[in-house]
Amino acid sequence: MAFTVLYDANVLYGNTLRDMMIRLARSGLVQAKWTNTILDEVTSNLAVNRPDIEPAKFDRLRELMILAVPDCLVFGFEPLIEGLKLPDLDDRHVLAAAIKIGAQVIVTANLRDYPADVLADWNMEAKSPDEFVLDQIALDDRIVWACVQQIADSRRNPPESVEDVLDALESAGLVASVSALRTGRSWT
């Protein structure tokens, strides 16, 4: 059975990284979850940073993300928020949702906001997207490669090659993961 992870908003913000994370969830390697609050953060940041995109497209993106990963939304975590202590109080909703679902990992680009000693109390850890994808490569690099190929196959306007997708993932911070895929290594 797949282990449970919670994706933070910063992991779902960038297009290619989001695509990879969702495809990994769809592959069955992990059971990925997020909340409506996390999706609100993603779409509001996209709206601010991409005023050229009409708001209805962000609503459609949200809908597609929810449809892509069955049972991805976490509910009922709100009562846990007030009792949690984190360096950034605005991140408590992420930890509360992870606790609610018994997540083993919070995947986030903001590792400093989730101290290991706090997460250890809940038997979980925070991992960067790069560390997380490296773990998936170690579990089954063929599935990760299939995800990369699926992303390339889905990009038609303009068309993208596997190498283009790897370059985009590397630019999104998956430096070690892309290196491992390119060299055939499945370890750090």
pLDDT grade, residue 38 (50/70/90)? Answer: very high
In Å, how far from its chain's centre is CA 86?
20
Each residue's pLDDT tens digit, 65-102:
999 999 999 999 999 999 999 999 999 999 999 999 99
In this structure, which amino acid lies at residue 165? V
- Using CA atoms, how far apart are residues 2 and 131, in angstroms rounded to an integer? 17
Give residue-wise pLDDT tens across range 16-34. Answer: 999 999 999 999 999 999 9
pLDDT tens per residue across span 164-180: 999 999 999 999 999 99
Report the chain's C-alpha Rg in angstroms.
16
DSSP state of 112: G
Phi, psi angles (nearest 5°) of residue 84? -100, 145
The rounded mean pLDDT for the chain is: 94
Alpha-carbon distance of 35 to 99, in angstroms, equals 13
Q: pTM of the prediction? A: 0.94
Question: For residue 100, what are the CA distances in angstroms to 13, 85, 91, 129?
Answer: 23, 16, 15, 21
Q: How far, in Å, CA of 9 to CA of 166, rounded?
A: 21
